Copies of this chain bind each other. A is one copy, B any other.
Amino acid sequence: MSTFRNFKMVDYVVYGRGSFNQLEDILAPHRKDDLPMIFLVDHFFEGKELANRIPVRGADKIIFADVTYEPKTTQVDALADALKDEFGMVSGVIGIGGGSTMDLAKAVSLMMNNPGSSADYQGWDLVKRPGVYKAGIPTLSGTGAEVSRTTVLTGPTRKLGMNSDFTPFNQIVLDPELTANAPVNQRFYTGMDCYIHCIESLTGTYLNEFSKSYGEKALDLCRYIFLEKDTWDDECDDKLMMASYAGGMSIAYSQVGVAHAVSYGLSYLLGTKHGIGNCIVMNHIEEYYPEGVAEFKRMVEKNGIEIPQGICKNVSEDQFDTMINVSLGMKPLWENALGKDWEKIMTREKLRELYGKL
């Protein structure tokens, strides 16, 4: 008997321009005694207007999180330990930022109620207890981290999420106004994370109609935004936020593929961020996704973006080996992309050659 994943949804969703203004009312019923709400905010917003609009009450605290690099288990543990030291316990953790901030907020919430290190929970269904109340407020659209049941973390031995039914947010606030001032390149790379993931999942061998319908919708929205529209406007922000949400939901019964598997090696070794890493790889894998890569290149051109080249030029053979090991470790991604016999297709030599081109 095949079994289908029983997918845990986010509890509450609010979508709308200006819905961020409802945050105080949304949080009110979740405040416990005098315990603070912790706002974990992308450091990009330090000194910006958005930071002043956060409804800070009582002992609440804003923590600007450095997301220059993607979240590490050590960073999660340090944040949770500092909160326990300062407050004993908190009412909730509210993440405001891009995918890294979303993942950080989910992980810190879980570590407020689970013992040990977040590294102990990297894997599937290892988390034993619900975290504190957690809400996600994306300011960049594309990763789908706002609806996922994971939180990707770089640990001492691997880059892997805390995948569990306790991981999804209790609340997400989808306010497209918050994405309006994102830097153009960053916005493009993050949007392409959604596009690439649709191409990988829709052409993959793991897929059912639930994920297909979400993936197709996300893909339609990406095509409209990045190919049909000539200037970026509110409609683009509105639609890209829904593309991100739909792309994230489509992960329920699908899997990513070659771009993600190769990009994980880059990010492990070089710290390349997820969105740009996927773009760097997508630029060179027409062999696996001929139509998707051609369309991706049209999007890059139309939006006037330059994808970095030659990022592996100073990488040693030992380091190539490390990247290859990390990448080939992502077995479900390869199997989704290339089928059961993927190891015969994607040999170490072939992957070495691909990394050499990046």
Contacts and interface: CB of A to CB of B under 8 A. Distances in A.
B176 A15 contact: no
B13 A252 contact: yes
A253 B16 contact: yes
Contacts of A21: 1
Given A213-B242, A216-B217, A246-B213, A22 B9 contact: no
A10 B12 CA distance: 9
A2 B16 contact: yes
A19 interface: yes
Contacts of A208: 15-16, 238
Interface string A1-33: 111111111111111101101100010000000
A221 interface: yes
Contacts of A246: 213
Looking at A21, A241, A242, the one whose CB has the most chain B CB atoms below 10 A away is: A242
Contacts of A7: 12-15
A14 B18 contact: no
A87 interface: no
A69 interface: no
B9 A13 contact: yes
Given A210-B242, A213-B217, A213-B221, A4 B11 contact: no
A110 to B, nearest CB: 18
A6 B209 CA distance: 27
A41 B49 CA distance: 55
A171 B7 CA distance: 9
A239 interface: yes
A174 B209 CA distance: 11
Interface string A235-265: 0001101100110000011000000000000
A283 to B, nearest CB: 28
